[in-house]
């Protein structure tokens, strides 16, 4: 199956998680990091939920009971993290009828989307998927990529973002055309030496002078 890759903004959007085990706990932690509002429904909860709810209680609603029809109302996304395929089918049916995207962990027939293996550093996010064929291979490739990403990539991206903003908005670069600005940024990203210099000038608050010098060359 071919999946369409997408990043979704779920800040302050309701996400429902069915299940209260270790997998559900990790899902809730990831969703909190993305700014979601979360409803978790399960008869039993992993011990880790107690500390999480005490520190994020305003963002996490925990319902200590089995899933019931209607529990997905108002949700943008749903995660079914149970070991019960019958429950997963019921959750999928409700989500599908309501037009809500659902992921059932390790249960592809009851999913409308899958979660890739991923890592993030600052503004960089890298996701790897094999379309569900081999999650283990996705994880292996993700680890290989992660090992080769520079440790300072977060700062480099901050510097690139600041450089792009300066080139677009500062009056000193008003005479540059859009293709010229793009070419300058590509020139920087294509050179490890220039990237290192960019990072240093960003840290030293001399980024404008650095860009002006490159633009004049």
pLDDT digits (tens, 9 = 90+) for 91-141: 999 999 999 999 998 888 999 999 888 988 888 999 998 887 888 999 999
Q: Which residues pair with 37 in a beta bridge?
A: 14
Q: What pLDDT score does 193 carry?
A: 95
Three-state DSSP string of 44-93: CCCCHHHHHHHHHCCCEEEEECCCCCCCCCCCCEEEECCCCHHHHHHHHH
Q: What pLDDT score does 54 carry?
A: 87
What is the rounded average pLDDT of the residues 29-51?
95
Q: What pLDDT score does 5 carry?
A: 86
Longest Cα pair distance anywhere in the chain, in angstroms? 68
What is the rounded average pLDDT of the residues 59-78?
96
Q: What pLDDT score does 122 carry?
A: 87
Contact 26, 34 (CB under 8 A): no
Q: What pLDDT score does 2 carry?
A: 78
The answer, yes or no, to whether residue 203 has pLDDT greater than 90, is: yes
Other Cβ atoms less than 10 A from the Cβ of 186: the count is 10
Nearest Cα neighbor of 82 from 37, 130, 137, 40 is 40
What is the rounded average pLDDT of the residues 76-85?
94
The answer, yes or no, to whether residue 1 has pLDDT greater than 70, is: no
Q: What pLDDT score does 133 carry?
A: 83
The answer, yes or no, to whether residue 213 has pLDDT greater than 90, is: yes
Query: Please, what is the average pLDDT of the chain?
Result: 93
Give the pair of three-digit tokens for residue 60.
């996490």
Q: What pLDDT score does 21 carry?
A: 96
User: What tens digit of pLDDT does each residue of 145-199 get?
Assistant: 999 998 899 999 999 999 999 999 999 999 999 999 999 999 999 999 999 999 9
Q: What are phi and psi of 204, to 5 degrees?
A: -90, 0
């Amino acid at each position: 199956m071919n999946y369409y890759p997408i990043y979704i903004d779920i800040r302050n959007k309701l996400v429902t998680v069915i299940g209260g085990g270790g997998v559900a706990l990790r899902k809730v932690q990831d969703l909190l990091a993305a700014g979601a509002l979360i409803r978790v429904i399960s008869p039993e909860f992993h011990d880790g939920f107690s500390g999480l709810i005490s520190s994020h209680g305003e963002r996490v609603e925990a319902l200590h009971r089995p899933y019931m029809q209607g529990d997905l109302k108002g949700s943008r996304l749903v995660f079914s993290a149970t070991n019960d395929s019958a429950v997963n089918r019921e959750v999928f049916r409700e989500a599908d009828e309501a037009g809500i995207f659902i992921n059932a962990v390790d249960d592809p027939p009851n999913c409308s989307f899958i979660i890739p293996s991923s890592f993030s550093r600052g503004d960089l996010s890298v996701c790897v998927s094999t379309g569900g064929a081999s999650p283990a291979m996705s994880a292996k490739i993700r680890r290989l990529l992660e090992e080769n990403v520079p440790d300072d990539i977060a700062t480099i991206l901050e510097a690139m973002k600041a450089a792009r903003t300066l080139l677009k908005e500062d009056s000193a670069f008003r005479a540059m055309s859009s293709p010229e600005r793009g070419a300058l940024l590509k020139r920087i990203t294509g050179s490890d030496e220039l990237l290192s210099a960019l990072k240093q000038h960003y840290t030293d608050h001399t980024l404008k002078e650095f860009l002006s010098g490159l633009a004049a060359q």
